[in-house]
Amino acid sequence: MNSQCPNSDPVVVMKNIVKVYPDGTVALQGVDFELCRGEIHGLLGENGAGKSTLMKILAGLIKPTKGEVVVRGRPVKFHSPADALKQGIGIVMQGLSLVPVFTAYENIILGARRVKPSRGEIEKLMQETGLIVPLDTPVENLSFGVRQKIEILKMLALNVDILILDEPTTNLSPTETRDLFKTLLKLKEQGKSIVLITHKIREIYEATDRVTVLRKGRLIGTVETSKVTPRDLAKMMVGREVELSINKPPSKPGETALKVEDLEVLGDLGVPAVRGVSFEVRYGEIFGIAGVEGNGQIELAEAIVGMRKPVRGRIILDDEEITVLDTSERYKRGIAYVPEDRKTSLIMEFSLVENTPLTEITYSREIVGEMGFVRMKQLIEKTTKIVREYNVITPSIYTSARALSGGNQQRFIVGRELSKDPKVIIVAQPTRGLDVAATEYVRNLLVEMRSKGKAVILISSDLDEVLSLSDRLAVMYNGRFMGIVDPSRITDEELGLMMGGYTYEEIKAQRV
Ligand code: ADP
């Protein structure tokens, strides 16, 4: 599957790009990519496919391990983003890079090298592109959508004509998204070449001329958007490897443990990250939540645990509403959480003993005595028990968490949370970065918990993992569930479509 530039030579050719990160991660395994002049080119793939890595190389942020980059016919070697900018290549990343206390105008001229664009020139640029922003307001007082416009303006003011946007619609409202695409079309008419990194298949159809699909660091193909269907793209994007061998007896779900009703939760930027989610989890089942990261999964988990207050909706545990209870009260009632980032769950400088009471120090009378004194003996016993039962390999319980491998840190965290004998366990990306043995251990433990009658919510962007472990599976996209399905019946194509923004209903009704 390969499409060529229709009328002109490509402005960018990337050949056989390999990227191995210093920690040994092979992010790209020999990828080819061509960008035509005046096209909007979608770069599609799931988490970890290598999209950002490929574009960071083109923007001079990182260097390829191997491979060649040719811009307008000339081989280039970039040592910094400034080198790429000199060739007219600029990237707008998700994490915004503006100086918050500066105004839009100050931010725009900040990057300019010799000749600073005048106010008049920037106003003209705003008119030409439709990117209208208030120039004199400090950026910190502006919405995410406006800040993103400023970032694009900044790139254009630097004469960028190869513009890369990394998941630009993540925090935009539907109107802002439409406006952004209108702008991109205008820029294209002006001859700019644009790369749109996305996992949203819908966006591919709204904006792009061609699309390149990556999967696990490999090129799957480059195709003309008009010649493929969303189903084709979904299949290209999602490809599962061998089925995992998890020994999973059939589930015997019991009563409803947790009920979430029409939940709306804001993300860090103050924009809704969860937009009306409802579901129930029963005792004795693993409820999986799949989806590309950043679609509201973490905000949902944090709302259930009490780390984030919902703006709408209800959370009910065992028929009792817990929506406004604080975190420690929820822990007490039996909700445990193993977050995605081990660093937020452990204090790395602390020993294991010191880490044991972290999530329960506020309430456990077993460990914290009446006056708030820590009962050292109990703490040592408890830590020893966690280390023993959950096979944490460590020289001693007094060793700092940092000294443990990722797998052993995770065993310790999981052990610590499970040893509280919770009713509902929420785990996010529980096996990320773990070796095979630790991964298998954690997965089996989750199945065991479920067999013991616990309600398990498994958030994971690892499709093999959610598919093999979950009894029921929700796919989350842009703050919503696209459907709740039986994981043993779902095809890769259906899964890819849901991850890319189509509801199960739409798919089943053949409206895609
Ligand atoms: P995508 O943008 O498609 O989600 P990325 O390019 O971000 O994918 O990541 C590709 C792979 O490289 C993933 O396995 C990711 O974990 C890994 N990766 C990304 N950045 C780094 C880094 N700085 N160090 C080590 N591994 C990284």
Letter for the amino acid at 296? G
| Distance of alpha carbon 462 from alpha carbon 334, whole angstroms | 27
Task: Give the integer Cα–Cα distance in Å for 6 and 254.
Answer: 59
Q: Which atom of ligand 1 is nearest to the CA of 62?
A: 23
Q: Which long-range contacts (CB under 8 A, 24 or more apart) does 171-176 make?
A: 171/144, 171/145, 171/267, 171/269, 171/271, 172/144, 172/145, 172/148, 173/145, 173/271, 176/145
According to DSSP, the β-strands at 193-198 and 162-166 are parallel
pLDDT of residue 363: 46
Please say whether the beta carbons of 469 and 447 come within 8 A.
Answer: yes
How close is the Cα of 105 to the center of ligand 1, in Å?
33
Atom of ligand 1 nearest to the CA of 19: 12
What's the pLDDT at 368?
A: 60
3-state helix, strand, coil in the chain (%, to 5): 35, 25, 40
Going from the Cα of 42 to the center of ligand 1, the distance in angstroms, rounded, reads 18
Rounded to the nearest whole angstrom, what is the distance from the C-alpha of residue 252 to the centroid of ligand 1? 38
CB 470, CB 458: distance < 8 Å? yes
Nearest CA to ligand 1 atom 21: 21
Contact 265, 272 (CB under 8 A): yes
Taken in order 247, 253, 256, 262, is the CA torsion positive or negative? positive
Helix (H) or strand (E) holding 76: strand 74-76
Strands of 351-471 (E only): list them.
424-428, 455-459
- For residue 165, the model assigns a pLDDT of 97
Residue 88 Cα to ligand 1 middle (Å): 25
Q: How far apart are CA 58 and CA 195, in angstroms?
A: 11
Q: Which of left, alpha, beta for 61 (phi over 0: left; psi -120 to 50: alpha)?
A: alpha
Nearest Cα residue to atom 5 of ligand 1:
50
All residues at 6 or more sequence positions from 355 whose CB lies less than 8 Å from its CB, including other chains: 346, 347, 401, 412, 416
Atom of ligand 1 nearest to the CA of 46: 3
Residues facing 35 on adjacent strands: 12
pLDDT tens for the chain, 512 residues long, are 567 887 778 999 999 999 999 988 999 999 999 999 999 999 999 888 999 999 999 999 999 999 999 999 999 999 999 999 999 999 998 767 889 999 999 999 887 766 788 899 999 999 999 899 999 999 988 888 899 999 999 999 999 999 999 999 988 888 889 999 999 999 999 999 999 999 999 999 999 999 999 999 999 999 999 999 999 999 999 876 555 556 788 888 999 999 999 999 999 888 899 999 999 999 999 999 999 988 999 999 999 999 999 999 999 999 999 999 998 899 889 999 999 888 888 889 899 998 888 876 544 555 566 666 667 888 899 999 999 988 899 999 999 999 998 889 988 998 998 888 899 999 999 988 777 778 888 899 999 999 999 999 999 988 889 999 999 999 999 999 999 999 999 998 999 999 999 999 999 998 88
Sheet containing 74-76, strands listed edge to edge, beginning at the edge strand earlier in sequence: 26-36, 10-20, 66-71, 74-76
Give me ligand 1 centre to Cα 238, in Å: 17
CA-nearest residue, atom 23 of ligand 1: 21
Would you state the structure tokens that stand for residue 431, as one six-digit string? 């096996």
Take atom 15 of ligand 1 and give the residue whose Cα is closest: 48
**Closest CA to ligand 1's atom 24:** 21
Q: Give the Å distance between the CA of 506 and the centre of ligand 1.
A: 32
| DSSP reduced 3-state for 309 | coil
Give CA–CA dist 314/316, Å, rounded. Answer: 6
Ligand 1 center to 53 CA (angstroms): 6
User: Any residues with Cβ below 6 Å from ligand 1, and which?
Assistant: 21, 23, 25, 27, 45, 47-53
Q: In order of start, what are the domains of the chain with their CATH numbers?
A: 12-238 (3.40.50.300), 256-334+422-508 (3.40.50.300)
> Are residues 284 and 489 in contact, defined by beta-carbon separation less than 8 angstroms?
no
The whole-angstrom separation of Cα 381 and Cα 379 is 5
For ligand 1, atom 16, which residue shows the shortest CA distance? 48
- Closest-lying ligand 1 atom to the alpha carbon of residue 47: 4
- 8 Å CB contact between 428 and 340: yes
For residue 95, the model assigns a pLDDT of: 62
> What is the phi/psi pair of residue 127, to 5°?
-65, -45
> Which numbered atom of ligand 1 lies nearest the CA of 166?
2
Ligand 1 atom closest to the Cα of residue 54 is 6
What pLDDT is attached to residue 116? 82
Distance separating alpha carbons of residues 448 and 457, to the nearest angstrom: 14
Q: Distance between CA atoms of 259 and 279, rounded to whole angstroms?
A: 6
Q: Which of 23, 44, 53, 197 best tests ligand 1's pocket when mutated (most atoms within 8 Å of CB)?
A: 53
CA 512 to CA 8: how far, in whole Å? 33
**Ligand 1 midpoint to CA 25 (Å):** 8
CB 48 within 8 A of CB 28: no
Measured in Å, residue 52 CA sits from the centre of ligand 1 at 7
- Distance between CA 258 and CA 317 in Å, rounded? 5
Rg over alpha carbons for the chain, rounded to the nearest Å, is: 25
How far is it, in rounded angstroms, from Cα 197 to Cα 353?
Answer: 44
Ligand 1 atom nearest 25 alpha carbon: 26
Tokens 């439409």 correspond to 178
Nearest-atom number in ligand 1 for the CA of 292 is 4
User: Which residue's CA is the closest to the ligand 1 atom numbered 9?
Assistant: 48
Residue nearest atom 22 in ligand 1 by C-alpha distance: 21
Structure tokens of 293?
Answer: 């990261």
For residue 334, give both structure tokens: 């039996």
